[in-house]
A and B are shown apart, each in its own frame.
Chain A
Amino acid sequence: MFEVIPPRPAPAGVAGIGGWIRRNLFSSPANTLLTVVTGLFVGYVVIAVVAWALFDASWGQVWANQRLFAVYRYPADLLWRPMAVLAAMMALIGVMGGAGRSNEILRGLFWSLVGFVAVVTVIAILFWPSARVLWTGVLAASVVGYALGAARPALVRALPWAWAAWLFLGFFLLYGVTPGSGLLRIVPARDWGGFMLTLILFTGIVPSFPLGVALALGRRSKLPAIKYTCIAFIEIVRGAPLIMWLFVASLLLPLFLNTDPNNLPAILRAYVAITLFSAAYMAENVRGGLQSVPRGQTEAARALGLGGWLTTSLIVLPQALRAVIPAIVGQAIGLFKDTSLVFIVGLADFFRVTEIVANQPASLRVTGGVKLELYLFVALIYFFFAYRMSIASRQLEKQLGVGTR
């Protein structure tokens, strides 16, 4: 006869947190020593940094220059315009997040952004009387968007149109309509900057996507004229650093278009350079995806009687793009940080504002300068966004099952 032994809990020291610590940190004398030494070192660094940040650092200059960091020289009385664009963006993202509640990635992105906005809103309510209403509005717009998306998931179908309208109206709202003074007066693009400019330049990834796909398809074309034009574009653009293309766009674009450079804002020139540069890399990413689609797929489509366009758009591209989405997200993260290169053509993006603030006479009056504080602040903001995107990219890879097929 067998006697059933009741299950016993795992011995202490193997299960639970204690067990994990023992297994991973104190499994042998050498390991223990390593743990202690590393622990002391990490603890020392963390305590030193926190103590510095709380007691020694002078954050006054970061605080005093919040407008420069956010929008550079965009007029203070017109801040509601970029904020309205931001509110509309958050509302649209809210609809996406609300409608795609079951999608871990969309939901996560939405809540991270809302969290960021909420933190800023709390700060605004506490300390910035002039920005209270605006930030509360942005927060409200996000929540309303989310609620709408959750209640009416069908709204998602209107999203591409909504985004296009946002891009178009957003530009006009930022730039203005009427000369002179007034609520909708024109704000010359040279006064745009700060984090707003970083975000604007980052959107260059959007037009670069269709361009990149077109270039990748063109490169595989059987027509020599198209094929070699595309190859030449991709290789030439990829063959030189972004900084050079920024210069080229800044100096030569007005010449090619035969126009007064003042009619062609530096931001537009930088935007064109960034978009084309990004398109060339996008093309190579997409081409990798195209090559990963087995020939059999094309042949099968042909056998079913599909023509060239239908084969490409219904059979090949969907599979190809699916395979390279993580690579494209990686490229987007890279571009987000590369936008800081625009300082070379005199634009004041988020990073450049750091140097502008560091060189204000007021910053020099602070003993020891305020560079560390400024760079740390900027690094944290960049890190928040870049890291959030890289989390999304990893989730996306898992969801698409890239690498497991």
Chain B
Amino acid sequence: MSSPESLLEEVYSELRGLARSFMHKRPPGQTLQPTALVHEAYLRLAGHAPEQGRWESRAHFCAVAAKAMRQVLANHVRDKRAQKRSPDGDRLTLSEAVAEGGTTQVDMLALHDALSDLSKVDSRKAELVELRFFGGLTMTEIAQVLDLSTATVEREWRVAKAWIGAQLK
């Protein structure tokens, strides 16, 4: 049984490899989704796990993977920023903004930092956001992973999202 740290490390390196490789090839008509990367990582790691019982469930894995995924993306953007020295190049365009007729932008690193701040004051909320954004888990699954009621998850999600939104503004 691997320690949680080594599991995270393993998942992280897997995801990093996957993300990097994806960036080198953009299949026609296909888009990168962090969720898909997490799936892929699961298929690789779970499918070839030499020993049983390294994670209790898929949900447990996704929770670990979500953390790793966030790290991967943050590091990626940081690296690229260092290379290009153009901070604006990394802003994410939110498709939601289109509905409003304008463009709003989110900075991946700012999000990463906000999450880190959040985890200091309320780690459960930070984890919840991770699971939702980077692990692609549904509210119901998050409720299972965190052992909470769905109503609590919904409420915490509202708070977390609003708080992070306010930090990023």
A, B from the same assembly: no
Chain A interfacial positions (CB closer than 8 Å to B): none
